[in-house]
Structure formats: structure tokens, C-alpha cells
């Protein structure tokens, strides 16, 4: 399984390098500060399930249409399982690498590979209680997004992504379909 993940990540990286080689001569030279972008999102949810998190990203414009970058994620998660029952809380963190290809002025394709580390709740039927087991869960997201410029070098970004490695028994996400929104500066 780890080989498949490694081969997939290397294939995506090689495709990015190959497309850079094809387009590099056609593009005008850009300064480094014009090639870098950063941004991310913030997660806030309160109630029986409380989630507080941040997910910063930094990226590099390989050419006018293609970019690649890395991101980090941290979430504090707290849930009351039953009324007046036990409380489950954990820290979820992860890292990823992504590539984006701008299809038109406001639309882009997005691919992302990474992992999420979290404490998976496991029910112990003998003790009749939940325990936890910390795991790294890989993900490979593909999809697209819409960006709306806000000012000269910033934009609001909305994405719809699908996790092709989704496993309901180990993923911290309730569904393989993931929606994101955030702000990018420089993209």
C-alpha cells in the first residue's frame, strides 16, 4: 500500500516537472516574490462537536498556469458521544503537497497528496468503553476550484475535492467529498 502512495506521489511530481519543461520557454521571467503565494483557511465549529483549526499553505508558481506547494493542518476536535456521557477530544494534524493548474481566469484543477494523523476511536467490547489509537491516514484529493480576485494580489478560493483513498473506518472525514474555502495571497 505504501508503494502505491509513493508511486502516485512521484508520478504527480514528474507530471508537474514535465509540464514546466514544456512551458518554461514561453513564459516571461517573473521575480521570486511574484512566484510565491500563501494562504489557507480557518475552521470553527461549536456545539456537541467542537472543531477549531488552521490550515496554512505556501506555493510556488512554476509558470503562468501551473503551481505547486505544501500545506500544514491542525485541528482541535471535541465531541460528547452521549448525553452526560464521555467526551472524546483529540488533536488532528497533517501535511500535504499539492498542484494546481489554472484552466481559465477563475477555474483551476487541484490535486493533493498527504496524510492526517489522528487518534482513531476504538470500542473495546470487553471493557465496554472507547479507547484510542493514533494513526497516520493517507489521502489523495482530486477536484477543482473557483477563485475570485479580491484586490490586486489576493483571492477567495472555493474547492470541491474527492478523496480517492477514502476509507470510512479510518478517515477523520465523514465523507470522501470535501469542500474547502479560504484566502490566497499572490495566487
Residue that wins the pLDDT comparison between 15 and 37:
37
C-alpha grid cell for residue 99?
A: 498542484
User: 149-157: which pairs have CB atoms within 8 A and are 24 or more residues apart?
Assistant: 150/183, 153/185, 153/186, 154/183, 154/184, 154/185, 154/186, 155/183, 155/184, 155/187, 156/181, 156/182, 156/183, 157/39, 157/181, 157/182, 157/183, 157/184, 157/187
pLDDT band at 17 (very low <50, low <70, confident <90, very high): very low
Domain total for the chain? 1
**Whole domain around residue 47: which residue ranges?**
2-185
Q: For position 89, what pLDDT does the model report? A: 87
SS3 64: coil
Note the pLDDT of residue 9: 52
Q: For position 29, which CATH number holds?
A: 2.40.160.20
In the predicted model, is pLDDT for residue 10 greater than 70? no
Examine the pLDDT at 24 and tell me if it is beyond 60: no
Question: Would you give the DSSP letter of residue 169?
Answer: T
Region 159-184: what's the mean pLDDT?
Answer: 90
Q: Which pTM was predicted?
A: 0.76
Amino acid at each position: 500500500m505504501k508503494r502505491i502512495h509513493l508511486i502516485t506521489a512521484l508520478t504527480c511530481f514528474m507530471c508537474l516537472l514535465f509540464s514546466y519543461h514544456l512551458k518554461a520557454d514561453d513564459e516571461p521571467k517573473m521575480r521570486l516574490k511574484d512566484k510565491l503565494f500563501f494562504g489557507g483557511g480557518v475552521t470553527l465549529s461549536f456545539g456537541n462537536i467542537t472543531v477549531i483549526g488552521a490550515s496554512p499553505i505556501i506555493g510556488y508558481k512554476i509558470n503562468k498556469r501551473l503551481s505547486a506547494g505544501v500545506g500544514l493542518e491542525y485541528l482541535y476536535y471535541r465531541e460528547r458521544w452521549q448525553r452526560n456521557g464521555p467526551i472524546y477530544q483529540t488533536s488532528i494534524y497533517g501535511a500535504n503537497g499539492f498542484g494546481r493548474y489554472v484552466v481559465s481566469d477563475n477555474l483551476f484543477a487541484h490535486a493533493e497528496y498527504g496524510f492526517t494523523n489522528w487518534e482513531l476511536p476504538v470500542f473495546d467490547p470487553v471493557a465496554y468503553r472507547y479507547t484510542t489509537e493514533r494513526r497516520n491516514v493517507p489521502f489523495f484529493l482530486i477536484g477543482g476550484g473557483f477563485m475570485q480576485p479580491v484586490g490586486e494580489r489576493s483571492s477567495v478560493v472555493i474547492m470541491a475535492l474527492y478523496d480517492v483513498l477514502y476509507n470510512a473506518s479510518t478517515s477523520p472525514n465523514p465523507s470522501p467529498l470535501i469542500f474547502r474555502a479560504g484566502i490566497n495571497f499572490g495566487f
